[in-house]
Amino acid sequence: MRLARLAALVLLLLLCIPAAAHAQSAGPGGIDVVQVNGLLDPSNAALIRSSLRHADAAHSTVIVFQLDASGAVDIDVPALLHDFTNAETPTAVWIGPSGGVARGASALLALSADVAAIAPGAHFGPIIPVSYDHPAQKIAAAEQLAGKRVTEKANTLQLFIASLDGKTVDGVKLSTLRGAEGSRVLNQDVHFHKLDLTQQLAHTLDSPWVAYFLFVVGLALIIFEFFTAGIGLAGALGALALLGACFGFSHLPVAPWAVFLLLFGMFGLAVDLQAGGLGAWTFIGAASLVAGSIWLYDGASRLDPTWWVLVLVIGGTLLFMLSGMTAMVRSRFSTPTIGREELIGEMGTAEAEVDPEGVVRIRDALWRARTNRATPIHSGDAIRVVSVEGIVLEVEPEAGGARDYRHR
């Protein structure tokens, strides 16, 4: 009798376990919302892939992508599209909010989703070019879907998620709402995914106008530090700006000759700054800076900085170099005495190595200085002024200076 009861109990437990497991798997697994903004670069591609994996592992009811994005740079679009369309979790795309866009690779993702909608005031397409760094690249999926558009409307993301209730995707009926008609609310938790701080920094540096801005500003700050004869805050910020710009350039289709023009332009402006006047090098440098800025990116035209960014960067750089830097150099290397000829014979010290040019201190004022190439002067050495040419002093060591060939 006891054995019969024990067998009946075991049989009952075996029957209950599958039923309990089935009830657990059938319950709502949550709704994942992924915010994708800007270019589809490596950071955004990694976000999309990791979110898809998370949704599959968590058995989410649906994964919703909020798109306000455009074409791709430095990513394998077919591979990303394969991962997107082969996800186990149903995919939905909402293009919004109002003013948002879905172009290029982003538009292709929207058309490849199981469900897609667009907010009023948002814009869709064109799909081609899919990749902004290879605008001529042909992708079969893009050519097949080139004439299609997203027509379903949804004012907000919440209304779009609510509209998914009852839709059937791959034979599975989605459930996102509960409650009576007129008072229905979401029946499960919503989990938001976006770029973390490191990914956001990388994504920002990948923005074409940001990389361009940092490159020009970094060069200007380093030139500023050079003329102040030291390594301080401006030099450090300039170096960081250049590093950030180079990181962005590594993911963008940059034309090497245009980068050379930017470098040459800043060099030309620095030449006349060194000479202490406005000359031919100023116009050569300004022209090179403008040309390098306009033709910097060798890809789709949507990568080019907008006109107001060009005006801001080029105008600000020229104003800084021709006005601010000139005034700084004059005040930095000015002398408290009225007659500069009185400085001949004065003694001072070298603030930086003079070989053949550098900076010296005379009467508590800093001066740009040069010496005979055969007589380098080390930082901290005593010097004597032998002549004055404009705002540049010609100096020699206190003792043992080589004789200038002009006085032979």
DSSP label at 322?
A: I
Q: What is the pLDDT of residue 341?
A: 67
Other Cβ atoms less than 10 A from the Cβ of 141: the count is 17
Which of 345, 352, 407 has its CA nearest to residue 376? 352
Note the pLDDT tens digit of each residue in 142-174: 988 888 999 999 999 999 999 999 999 888 899
Q: What is the pLDDT of residue 330?
A: 63
Which of 184, 196, 164 has its CA nearest to residue 94? 164
Note the pLDDT tens digit of each residue in 335-376: 454 456 677 888 899 988 888 888 888 877 888 888 876 778
Other Cβ atoms less than 10 A from the Cβ of 372: the count is 20
Which of 95, 115, 76, 79 has its CA nearest to residue 37? 95
Q: What is the DSSP string of 77-101?
A: HHHHHHHHHT-SS-EEEEE-STT-E
| Residues facing residue 207 across a β-bridge | none
Series of mean pLDDT values for 10-residue runs along the chain (408 residues): 44 39 48 96 97 95 96 95 95 96 95 96 94 92 89 94 91 87 84 95 96 96 79 85 97 96 93 77 93 94 94 92 73 53 83 88 84 82 86 82 48
Cα angle 177, 178, 182; round to 5:
90
Q: Could you identify the residue written with the tokens 């030139």? A: 223
| Amino acid of residue 186 | L
Q: What is the pLDDT of residue 328?
A: 67
Q: What is the pLDDT of residue 332?
A: 59
Q: What is the pLDDT of residue 230?
A: 58
Q: What is the pLDDT of residue 3?
A: 42
Cα separation of 216 and 318, whole Å?
11
Q: What is the DSSP string of 104-139?
A: THHHHHHHHSSEEEE-TT-EE----SSBSSSTT---
Cα separation of 272 and 275, whole Å?
5
The verdict on whether omega for the bond into residue 126 sits within 30 degrees of 0, i.e. cis, is: yes
Reported residue count of the chain is 408
Task: Name the pTM for this structure.
Answer: 0.75
What tokens appear for 205 in the block? 């540096």
What is the three-class DSSP state of 386?
strand
Packing angle of the helix pair 208-227, 280-294 (nearest 10 deg): 160
The verdict on whether omega for the bond into residue 129 sits within 30 degrees of 0, i.e. cis, is: yes
DSSP label at 302?
A: G
Cα separation of 314 and 213, whole Å?
10
Q: What is the DSSP string of 227-256?
A: HTTS-SHHHHHHHHHHHHHHHHHHTS-B-H
Note the pLDDT tens digit of each residue in 280-292: 888 999 999 999 9
Q: Which residues of 68-98 are buried (b: 16+ CB within 10 A; e: fewer)?
A: bbbbbbbbebeebbeebeebebbbbbbbbee
Q: What is the pLDDT of residue 33?
A: 97
What is the three-class DSSP state of 103?
coil
Environment class of 21 (CB within 10 Å of its CB; exposed 0-12, middle 13-18, buried 19+)? exposed
Q: Are 70 and 40 in contact (CB under 8 A)?
A: yes
